[in-house]
Structure 1
Amino acid sequence: MDRITRVGVDLAKNVMQVHAVDSAERVVVRKAISRERFVSWFANLEPCLIAMEACSAAHYWARKLHALGHEVRLIPPQFVAPYRKGGALVKNDALDAEAICEAASRPHMRFVPVKSPAQQSVLVLHRMRTGFVEERTALANRLRGLLAEFGVFLPQGTRQLHQHFIDRVEDGSNELTGPARQALMRGWAQWQALDEEIAWFDRQIAEHANRDPQAQRCMDVCGVGRLTASAAVVTVVDARQFKNGRQMAAWLGIVPKQKSSGGKQRLGSITRQGNDYLRTLLFLGARSAIRTAHRRDDRLSRWIVQLQARVGYYKTLVAVANKHARILWAVLAKGERFDRSYAPARTGGAAGA
């Protein structure tokens, strides 16, 4: 058997598909391996390059294979799809493994840094919190809709619902019956329990942000709180993987779509690609920064106020989120603190021009 130099692995719950080639790009191995035999099979190989899609359990397997001496690279799934024979119409595990192996050979392919168990543990906090927030939102909408069936209408907003729910349910002048009141009160108890769970996760995330030096530097930016700073640190892992701040903004999906051809540039709405959770947090932080910009006198806040007066709220919102992404890249990649009064040096023109 020729020496294997590169392996593409299509991960799954129970059976992994392997596609291995030698230095001449000849196929050496094409087979399926059970999960129980997966690590032992690679333990018998000489160190080589192993590529996998960045999917569920990918970081775990990457750490295991790296401990065996292999070089492991994780590829975003959207970068693998163009290399699959048959395109979107033909798909199976063997073709996926072959496409992963081929994509890993490209000299300008982009890879995902492997996360440590500690980093993934913080992400567990964020994902569990997000799930509970979604459950609470769904429960609030359900309670509001059920009350409306009996002619009980509450003002919009979670705070209003929280303030008036008990009074409306206990009001004897409406059409609510005993069983309905009991059911709604059980829903209210569930809502209270979700509030407690979310508060616990908020405390854990705040603790991580307060003790992590990188997260502390991120929080110097107005509009970047503990939640965003913590998520940015553990999601990006290594900001130096991006050449500049615009690449990180593009990875987060807050740069315009391009349909340019023939030297004519056509820009559309933002791409919304990449990590939607971190992008959402950046937009929420941008809203806060815009809302309070008029109270501050630093250079960034003055820019926000002037931009909003010129292009309106929503374009400013996208611009501020993009600006925050670029600032976070500089803070994380260079290890420096954010300077509110920083002004880049201008070159290429006379001072009085």
Structure 2
Amino acid sequence: MHNIITGVDLAKEEIQVCVCKRNKVQSNQAMTPTEFASWLASSKPMTIVFEACSTSNYWKQKALEFGHDARLISAKLVASVRQNQKTDKNDALAVAQAAQLTDVSFINGKSKEQQELQTLVRLRELAVKHKVAVQQQIKSLLLEFNIRVSPSQGGLSGVVEAVLEDAENGFSVVFRQALNTSWQHLQQGIESIKQYDLYLEKAANEHETCKSLQALEGVGPLNAVNLYMALGCGEMGQFETGRDASACIGLTPIQHSSGGKVKLGSVGKYVKNNMLRSCLVSGAMSAVNQAMRRPAKTKKEMWIQQMVERRGKRCTAVALANKTVRTAFAMLANGTEYKAELLAA
């Protein structure tokens, strides 16, 4: 670190900049984004620490361009360090103070390419949420008329078509038009998800790291991009081991250790990035189902089959997801490729 440490609290319209030198505050002032960009360009190289937020990656990239030592720090850590009430000045000061703590873990930022991949994933997640919301609303509203959706009736598609085509069910023209509009909206949502899947597949296949991650069991384009975002650029922090990465994602038992006694609880479901955990476990479950349909060809498939016999498919899926994260971490850390080990003939 440089002698001068600057803590920056980012906001949309105003940026608070606290400059500290030898544990003393030199200045703590607010700037507009334009003024801050000019300040970065004119200032001598220093350590600039940003509180991790939606615009922190952009400003870290700009600070690096101007020769500064730019870093990101957890907002949760800053909140625990902040003294007195929450103001922009106190936040900026807390960022600078938190950066000087012993053995503090900084967060890796994202490059522009990594931000683009993140955008594809987030847009797909939003489309999935909208699809599920519309789907559930249509089902609930039809249930108000005691119209139940069941597979025997062709699912939601068959029920909606039957309601629209039945001229003797007593529904008004306006109601039919509104239901049809909602149904078309749902169809558009489904098509948009398919389109995002194509974008993700293309992006993952064009990216060498994501392409190599797809060799892992239960890892497709979506999970490959998710793993690269979580491990390759350290969205959740810098990990020293694969176990640390797996624990952060929520695939290892929660520890309740004290007084030299190690106590392991259940595998935690409530984690920061629950969507990542869900996707990894879903992909692992698909690999487990596939491995159970045929004789084992690899040592990993043999392990899956033995694990299913002992603990069942759900526990096996979580365990496989755990192995996947650790293997992906090793691949990214060492620059190696994954090749499944075949069983001896």
1:254 paired with 2:251, answer yes
Following the alignment from structure 2 to structure 1, what is the Cα–Cα distance between the partners of residues 9 and 267?
31
Tell me the CA shift for residue 4 of structure 1: 6.3
- For 2:337, the aligned partner's letter is R
Aligned to 1:211: 206
Aligned to 2:323: 323
Following the alignment from structure 1 to structure 2, what is the Cα–Cα distance between the partners of residues 317 and 32?
50
Aligned to 1:335: 335
1:191 paired with 2:189, answer no
Following the alignment from structure 2 to structure 1, what is the Cα–Cα distance between the partners of residues 210 and 58?
24
Of 282-291 and 312-321, deviating more is 312-321
Q: Please, which of 247, 261, 264 is the counterpart of residue 264 of structure 1?
A: 261
Tell me the CA shift for residue 12 of structure 1: 0.7
Following the alignment from structure 1 to structure 2, what is the Cα–Cα distance between the partners of residues 291 and 244?
29
Distance 1:336 1:164, change over 3 A: farther
- For 2:9, the aligned partner's letter is D
Aligned to 1:351: none
Of 306-315 and 49-58, deviating more is 306-315
State whether residues 150 and 175 of structure 1, in contact with CA within 8 Å, keep that contact through their aligned partners in structure 2. no
**Correspondence list, 1:1-353, <5 A:** 5-22=4-21, 24-86=22-84, 90-155=85-150, 160-238=155-233, 241-271=238-268, 272-294=270-292, 295=294, 296-341=296-341
Task: Output one character per residue of 1:287-311: Cα deviation in whole Å (capped at 9) or x when no partner.
Answer: 1122222223321222222223223
Of 196-205 and 90-99, deviating more is 90-99
- What SS does structure 1 have at the residue aligned with 2:139? helix
State whether residues 245 and 326 of structure 1, in contact with CA within 8 Å, keep that contact through their aligned partners in structure 2. yes
State whether residues 231 and 329 of structure 2, in contact with CA within 8 Å, keep that contact through their aligned partners in structure 1. no
- For 2:252, the aligned partner's letter is V
- What SS does structure 1 have at the residue aligned with 2:332? helix
Tell me the CA shift for residue 238 of structure 1: 4.1
Tell me the CA shift for residue 163 of structure 1: 4.3
Structure 1 residue runs of 5 or longer lacking an equivalent are: 344-353
Distance 1:243 1:233, change over 3 A: same
Normalising to structure 1: TM-score of the pair? 0.88
Distance 1:156 1:42, change over 3 A: farther
State whether residues 285 and 313 of structure 2, in contact with CA within 8 Å, keep that contact through their aligned partners in structure 1. no
Identical amino acids, percent of aligned pairs = 34
Following the alignment from structure 2 to structure 1, what is the Cα–Cα distance between the partners of residues 233 and 134?
38
State whether residues 298 and 342 of structure 2, in contact with CA within 8 Å, keep that contact through their aligned partners in structure 1. no
- What SS does structure 1 have at the residue aligned with 2:265? strand
Following the alignment from structure 2 to structure 1, what is the Cα–Cα distance between the partners of residues 313 and 169?
42
Structure 2 residue runs of 5 or longer lacking an equivalent are: none
State whether residues 251 and 322 of structure 2, in contact with CA within 8 Å, keep that contact through their aligned partners in structure 1. yes
Tell me the CA shift for residue 342 of structure 1: 7.9
Task: Output one character per residue of 1:46-92: Cα deviation in whole Å (capped at 9) or x when no partner.
Answer: 11001112211110111111111111101122232221225xxx422
Following the alignment from structure 2 to structure 1, what is the Cα–Cα distance between the partners of residues 175 and 310?
52
State whether residues 245 and 326 of structure 2, in contact with CA within 8 Å, keep that contact through their aligned partners in structure 1. yes
Over the residues paired in the alignment, what is the CA RMSD in angstroms? 2.3
State whether residues 7 and 20 of structure 1, in contact with CA within 8 Å, keep that contact through their aligned partners in structure 2. yes
Task: Output one character per residue of 1:155-203: Cα deviation in whole Å (capped at 9) or x when no partner.
Answer: 279x822344312332235343322111110011111211222121111
Tell me the CA shift for residue 143 of structure 1: 0.8
State whether residues 221 and 338 of structure 1, in contact with CA within 8 Å, keep that contact through their aligned partners in structure 2. yes
Following the alignment from structure 2 to structure 1, what is the Cα–Cα distance between the partners of residues 190 and 5?
49
- What SS does structure 2 have at the residue aligned with 1:223? coil
Of 264-273 and 57-66, deviating more is 264-273
Normalising to structure 2: TM-score of the pair? 0.90
Of 99-108 and 124-133, deviating more is 99-108
State whether residues 259 and 266 of structure 1, in contact with CA within 8 Å, keep that contact through their aligned partners in structure 2. yes
- What SS does structure 1 have at the residue aligned with 2:28? strand
What is the total number of aligned residue pairs between the two structures?
A: 336
Following the alignment from structure 1 to structure 2, what is the Cα–Cα distance between the partners of residues 317 and 267?
19
